[in-house]
């Protein structure tokens, strides 16, 4: 009796199905963790939003409150803020699910490099968000309030304020990833640390352009983003020099 060997296409289909099932399981676990934290934080929505609005309220006259100009703003703004906090809180869990899905396909050397880079990227994102909240927001609101004419009453809308803060969080969080991005470019062989040093002047100009585009239209937030990015560019060069493979050493 003749046996028929399975074709490569038939052998590939079960592996593809296994990968899709694994991807679905990881997505479901990540979303479940996000949903659990979101529901757990909902009862504290008012308190959390008050903490988020503290940098603005500290610059306004005593007793000033945010004014909801839309019917749903008083409800939607705290709920969106809780989702933002839940997303930031569960980011390590979400990244772990992505790592657990990708890691089996990586070589040992790739794992040794990818895991520290992933942890560094997460830490830098949190540092960027903290920098925006504790330093940038108070400075920006102090600048804006000082230049507001006395006949203008500052009564921000809750949703507009949340959007403003979220944009700053994303801008500073992603911008603080610059050292990790430079290290990845060097590890991929697209640039060298020497080329990064030689392009320092162009990089500074590009950083100020990016800061002007992604931050609100005030000079304070633009400078408070551009200056740290210039310093982080130097940190990225140092990290790339340390991690870049040396041509005189054999590959692992």
Alpha-carbon span 174 to 172, nearest angstrom: 6
Alpha-carbon span 40 to 82, nearest angstrom: 10
Is 121 a member of any domain?
yes
Beta carbons of 125 and 174 less than 8 angstroms apart: yes
Q: What is the pLDDT of residue 249?
A: 45
Beta carbons of 165 and 77 less than 8 angstroms apart: no
Is 233 a member of any domain?
no
Q: What is the pLDDT of residue 169?
A: 93
Burial readout 95-127 (b: 16 or more C-beta within 10 A, e: otherwise): ebbebebeeeeeeeeeeebbeebbeebbebbee
Is 193 a member of any domain?
no
Token code pair at residue 11: 């052998």
Per-residue pLDDT of the chain (252 residues; tens, 9 = 90+): 455 555 555 556 667 788 788 889 999 999 999 999 999 999 999 899 889 988 888 887 776 777 777 777 778 889 999 999 999 999 999 999 999 888 888 788 878 888 888 999 999 999 999 999 999 999 988 888 887 776 666 777 888 889 989 989 999 999 999 999 999 999 888 999 999 999 999 999 999 999 988 887 778 888 999 999 999 999 999 998 887 765 554 444
Is 224 a member of any domain?
no
Is 245 a member of any domain?
no
Is 16 a member of any domain?
yes
Is 126 a member of any domain?
yes
Domain hosting residue 151, numbered range: 8-176
Q: What is the pLDDT of residue 68?
A: 74
Alpha-carbon span 176 to 230, nearest angstrom: 10
| CA 110 to each of CA 104, 124, 241: distance values in angstroms, whole numbers, following the listed order | 11, 21, 18
Total structural domains in the chain?
1
Is 106 a member of any domain?
yes
Write down the residue that tokens 């504790």 correspond to.
134
Residue 164's Cβ-count burial label (10 Å; 0-12, 13-18, 19+) is middle
CA geometry: angle 68, 73, 74, nearest 5 deg: 75
Q: What is the pLDDT of residue 5?
A: 53
Indicate the DSSP class of residue 64. -
Q: What is the pLDDT of residue 150?
A: 67
Alpha-carbon span 177 to 20, nearest angstrom: 30
Beta carbons of 214 and 157 less than 8 angstroms apart: no
Give me Rg for the CA atoms of the chain.
Answer: 24
Q: What is the pLDDT of residue 152?
A: 66
């Amino acid at each position: 009796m003749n046996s028929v060997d399975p074709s490569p296409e038939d052998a590939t289909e079960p592996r593809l199905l296994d990968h899709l099932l694994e991807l679905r399981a990881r997505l479901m676990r990540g979303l479940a963790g996000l949903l659990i934290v979101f529901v757990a934080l909902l009862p504290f929505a008012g308190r959390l939003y008050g903490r988020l609005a503290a940098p603005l309220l500290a610059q306004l006259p005593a007793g000033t409150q945010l004014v909801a100009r839309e019917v749903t703003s008083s409800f939607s703004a705290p709920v969106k803020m809780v989702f933002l906090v839940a997303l930031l809180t569960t980011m390590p869990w979400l990244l772990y699910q992505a790592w657990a899905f990708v890691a089996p396909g990586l070589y040992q050397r790739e794992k040794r490099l990818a895991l520290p880079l992933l942890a560094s990227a997460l830490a830098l994102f949190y540092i960027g968000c903290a920098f925006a909240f504790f330093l940038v927001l108070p400075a920006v609101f102090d600048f804006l309030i000082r230049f507001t004419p006395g006949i203008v009453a500052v009564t921000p809308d809750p949703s507009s304020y949340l959007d403003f803060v979220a944009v700053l969080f994303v801008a500073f969080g992603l911008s603080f990833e610059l050292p990790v991005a430079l290290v990845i470019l060097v590890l991929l062989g697209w640039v060298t640390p020497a080329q990064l040093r030689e392009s320092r002047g162009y990089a500074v100009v590009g950083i100020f352009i990016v800061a002007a585009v992604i931050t609100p239209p005030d000079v304070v937030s633009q400078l408070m983003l551009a200056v740290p990015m210039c310093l982080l560019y130097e940190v990225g060069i140092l990290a790339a020099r340390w991690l870049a493979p040396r041509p005189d050493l054999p590959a692992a």
